[in-house]
Amino acid sequence: METKKLSIKTASYPLPEDAPKRLKLFVILTPMFFMLAISLPSFIRQQLTPVICEEANSTAYYSLIMLISTMSGSIFSPIVGKLGDLYGRKRLSLFCLVPFAGSLILCGLARGPVLLAISYALIGIFYSGLDSATNGMVMDAFNRKDSTQILGVLNAANTIAGILGPILIGYLADLIGAQKSMIILAAVVMAAWVLILVGYPDIRNIKRDVVIDYKGVILLPVAIGPICVAIAVGGNQLPWNSPWIIAMFVVSVICCVLFVRTEKKQKQPIVNIGLLKNKMIIPALLFMFAWRAMQSLLTYFNLYCREVLEFSSTQLGSLQFFLWVNVIVAVLVGRYLSRKKNYRLIFSISAILSVLAPLLFFLFMRPGLPFFWAVVLRIPQIIMVGFCMAPMNMYLGEILKAEERGMGLAINMFFINLGTSVFNAIFSAVMNLFPGGIADAFGPMCLVAVGIGVIRLLVVLVGIKNRIQANS
Every domain of the chain and the residues it spans: 19-213+266-463, 214-265
Residue 4: pLDDT band by 50, 70, 90 thresholds? very low
What does the pLDDT average to over 114-131?
A: 84
Most confident of 83-97, 242-256, 324-338: 242-256
Q: What is the pLDDT of residue 156?
A: 66
Bridge partner residues of 406 (DSSP): none
Most confident of 233-242, 403-412, 432-441: 432-441
pLDDT tens, position by position, 175-217: 888 888 888 888 888 988 888 887 777 666 554 555 667 777 7
Residue 393: pLDDT band by 50, 70, 90 thresholds? confident
pTM: predicted TM-score of the whole model, two decimal places: 0.72
Q: Is the pLDDT of residue 321 over 70?
A: yes
Residue 304: pLDDT band by 50, 70, 90 thresholds? very high
Residue 211's region, left for phi above 0, alpha for psi from -120 to 50, else beta, is beta
Q: Report the CATH number of the 19-213+266-463 domain.
A: 1.20.1250.20
Instruction: Kindly report the three-state secondary structure assignment for every residue of the chain.
Output: CHHHHCCCCCCCCCECCCCCHHHHHHHHHHHHHHHHHHHHHHHHHHHHHHHHHHHCCCHHHHHHHHHHHHHHHHHHHHHHHHHHHHHCHHHHHHHHHHHHHHHHHHHHHCCCHHHHHHHHHHHHHHHHHHHHHHHHHHHHHECHHHHHHHHHHHHHHHHHHHHHHHHHHHHHHHHHCHHHHHHHHHHHHHHHHHHHHHHCCCCCCCCCCCCCCHHHHHHHHHHHHHHHHHHHHECCCECCCCHHHHHHHHHHHHHHHHHHHHHHHCCCCCCCHHHHHCCCHHHHHHHHHHHHHHHHHHHHHHHHHHHCCCCCHHHHHHCCCCHHHHHHHHHHHHHHHHHCCCHHHHHHHHHHHHHHHHHHHHHHCCCCCCHHHHHHHCHHHHHHHHCCHHHHHHHHHHHCCHHHHHHHHHHHHHHHHHHHHHHHHHHHHHHHCCCCCHHHHHHHHHHHHHHHHHHHHHHHHHHCCCCCCCCC
Q: Which amino acid type is present at position 313?
A: S
Q: Is the pLDDT of residue 223 over 70?
A: yes
**Alpha-carbon distance 146 to 154, whole Å?**
12
Q: In sequence order, which residues have a C-beta less than 8 Å from that of residue 471 and are 6 or more positions away?
A: 398, 399, 400, 401
